[in-house]
């Protein structure tokens, strides 16, 4: 009997895998380093290894696995199962679906990581019970997954939800995508750290520098968070500015999709209290009142398991 599925979440620094029954009950869960610094082929081998390990941990035999769902950074093609290009893990045109199908002799489904997390939060997380929901991940970069009428919306080229590359400041800060003024350049962990370094280099007096050992190049979002929680004025200002810009982007999504709820996850969401106020003020001031007055914006619930849950949910769908 094939009555289990595996969810595999591929990240730039961590891999995670979970074994679930067909009711999405977690049986076992495991994480390990991606080891991307060792090259793309090592990442492929680690993907195989962690699935074997999560099965061994559970004691469930491989022949009881009905499918594997994979959550991966993109761009990727869900139809061919190929990850087109992910610089952080050294992948270019990697046919991860066929690789895993050959290794485990089961059906495999591939999905963009933000989409998988959106699906998970809609089924079992902070978006449960909603028909129209948008999941936003705010971390090193910014992405989103869109649920419309309880269905994942991928767009014509599997590219829907590139929220981080909405232009909110024409001609503004440069973005890694090659354009300028992208939301990701104003409302991400990378953007927050860059703004902190720039301010301190220009003479801002802040505890952020002390927390980074006195070396501006070592400033990361975590130190900005720590300083703000200790009432450092410059750090608080940076978080409020991030919230404003994130809210500006969200207002665009609200007016396009009129969602019931927006769920925000990713590493930056742990500092919810530092940016929520300015974010919501920005949403309300840039959105029709009829759309914003009943809008719910809430933190994600599934944390670092969202990708695994979402991948497993997709795996169940093809059983």
Question: Exposed e or buried b for every residue in 265-274, given b needs 16+ CB within 10 A?
Answer: bbbbbebeeb
Q: Which residues have C-beta within 8 Å of that of residue 101, sequence separation ≥ 6?
A: 107, 108
Pick 261 or 304 by higher pLDDT.
261
Environment class of 149 (CB within 10 Å of its CB; exposed 0-12, middle 13-18, buried 19+):
exposed
Percent of the chain with pLDDT over 90: 89
Domains of the chain plus CATH, in order, are 4-119+305-317 (3.30.420.40), 127-300 (3.30.420.40)
pLDDT tops 90 at residue 157: no
Token pair recorded at residue 309? 């849950």
pLDDT of residue 87: 82
Q: Which residues have C-beta within 8 Å of that of residue 14, sequence separation ≥ 6?
A: 31, 32, 33, 34, 304
pLDDT of residue 1: 85
């Amino acid at each position: 009997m094939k009555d289990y599925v595996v969810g595999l979440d591929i990240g730039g620094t961590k891999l995670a895998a979970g074994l679930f029954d067909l009711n999405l009950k977690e049986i076992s869960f495991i994480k390990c380093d991606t080891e991307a610094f060792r090259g793309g082929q090592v990442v492929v081998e680690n993907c195989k290894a962690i699935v074997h390990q999560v099965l061994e941990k559970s004691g469930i035999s491989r022949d009881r696995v009905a499918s594997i769902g994979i959550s991966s950074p993109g761009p990727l093609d869900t139809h061919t199962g190929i990850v087109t290009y992910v610089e952080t893990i050294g992948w270019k045109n990697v046919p991860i679906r066929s690789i895993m199908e050959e290794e485990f002799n089961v059906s495999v489904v591939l999905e963009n990581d933000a989409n998988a997390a959106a699906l998970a939060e809609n089924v079992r997380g902070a978006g449960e019970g909603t028909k129209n929901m948008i999941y936003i991940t705010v971390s090193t970069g910014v992405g989103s997954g869109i649920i419309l009428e309880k269905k994942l919306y991928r767009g014509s080229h599997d590219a829907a939800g590139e929220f981080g590359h909405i232009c909110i400041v024409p001609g503004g800060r440069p973005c890694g995508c090659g354009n300028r003024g992208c939301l990701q350049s104003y409302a991400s962990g990378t953007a927050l750290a860059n703004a902190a370094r720039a301010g301190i280099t220009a003479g801002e007096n802040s505890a952020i520098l002390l927390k980074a050992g006195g070396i501006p190049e070592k400033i990361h979002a975590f130190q900005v968070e720590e300083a703000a929680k200790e009432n450092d004025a410059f750090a608080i200002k940076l978080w409020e500015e991030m919230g404003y810009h994130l809210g500006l982007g969200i207002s665009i999504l609200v007016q396009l999709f009129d969602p019931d709820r927006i769920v925000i996850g990713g590493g930056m969401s742990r500092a919810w209290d530092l940016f929520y106020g300015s974010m919501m003020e920005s949403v309300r001031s840039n959105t029709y009142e009829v759309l914003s007055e009943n809008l719910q914006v809430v933190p994600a619930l599934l944390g670092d398991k969202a990708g695994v849950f979402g991948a497993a949910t997709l795996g169940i769908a093809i059983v």
